[in-house]
Chain A
Amino acid sequence: MDLESVRELKRSLQEKLLAKLATTAQARSALGEAAHALGAGRAAPPTLALGVARRARNRFALAVRVQQRALEHSRTVEDLTKKAKGEVDVRYIGLVEKRVEPWHRQRRRPLCIGCSVGHFKVTAGTLGAFVRQRGGGSLSLLSNNHVLANENRGKRGDDILQPGAIDDGDNPADGVATLADFVRFKRVGANLVDAAMATVKEGVEADLTKLKGMGKLKGVGDVFVDEGTGVTKIGRTTGRTAGRVTAFEIDNVTVRFDIGELRFDNQIEIEGEGDAPFSDGGDSGSLIVGADLRAVALVFAGSDQGGANGQGLTYANPIQSVLDALRLELAL
């Protein structure tokens, strides 16, 4: 069948056959479930799902996905096969469970390092660390400019959500902090950091040093990070990953942002261990720590190519540059 014919068949079958199957007491009984009053608070049992499956380049079939074994060779499926003139792709798929999001994409109270966070107009990035301005200041979150300040477009006082908007962070209910300061991106010349901080709102609790599954953040590591140094990060998208520094003091790193291509100097490059990338979209702002659990760098960018495993490379600002640029110290 051509694509439009399958779509039309699917529409007509969904309206007639499956509506009947899902709602009649007779059908439920046939599936081994006792009939019960409509509106008694129970959803219809999972039965069949219809879709389109590709057979060849321009040939399509009716996709029939069976969610109960009892229906696999049932009259209903036979009828569907007949109506599709045999052009069906029948598969048993069982129950489709709602995917449980990992902890780093969920709402976290107390706040913790590695969880989803973002300016209310940004999808999401990662809460890197807790910081204070040098000499004493309010407890604040550290992440990237493009996560907390929306690439220079944020204004001081803007709400920062945890989790970020794409992770169902609600504005203003999940507003845990307000944008306080950021290093403006320069469109001409070299940037050194992609960094911003947001003051944690009163009454919002935070676990300042917990690196989930690893221990406690111990402070700031050595400024010099050599090639081969083993590192770890916790990020909103890929969680905890291990990697290795592949280059350092990298200049002229050209990174694509919404506001255009920006240049960065003095960056660190990391590849993932094993078959996994070290980071992916959403891990921006993740704090990178060494084996001694001291902070090394802040993730901000990455590529899809390169690295020994071909999974791309991660680029990060040296943490001391970030702290110096915003006059911060880690809150430990």
Chain B
Amino acid sequence: MNACTLQQARAAKHKAVELFRGTAAVAGIGITRIEDGYGLKVNLERPPESPLPTEVDGVPLRVEIVGTIRKREVTEGR
């Protein structure tokens, strides 16, 4: 059961940003809800070369592969 507060998640996010700095595949680190509390969402452009931790300072972490993020300008033919 996850009962982490928003404040705990925000503090863990700052730590996670430092932790994953230099990890090329990271495309964003934010806050989401996991079970009944708040947690971290780590977006990756591609699958990681080695597994990521499942929590940071007791705050659970969910990983999602999102691919490349691009501006949403119209491309030819759309």
Contact = CB atoms under 8 A, between A and B. Distances in A.
Interface of A: 122-125, 144, 146-147, 164, 166, 194, 226-228, 236-237, 246-257, 267, 269, 279-284, 299-306, 312-315
B28 A305 contact: no
B76 A166 contact: yes
Contacts of A164: 74
Interface of B: 10, 13, 17, 20, 26-33, 41, 43, 45, 64-76, 78
A281 B32 contact: no
Nearest to B14: A251
Closest 8 CB pairs of A and B: A250-B30, A282-B74, A305-B67, A284-B72, A306-B66, A247-B30, A253-B28, A227-B33
A59 B49 CA distance: 42
Contact of B71 (A228, A237, A300, A312): A300
Contacts of A303: 27, 66-70
A282 B73 contact: yes
Contacts of B76: 123, 166
B65 A305 contact: yes
Nearest to A316: B72
A12 B43 CA distance: 55
B27 A253 contact: yes
A146 B33 contact: no
A164 B20 CA distance: 40
B32 A313 contact: no
Contact of A166 (B20, B31, B45, B74): B74
B70 A306 contact: no
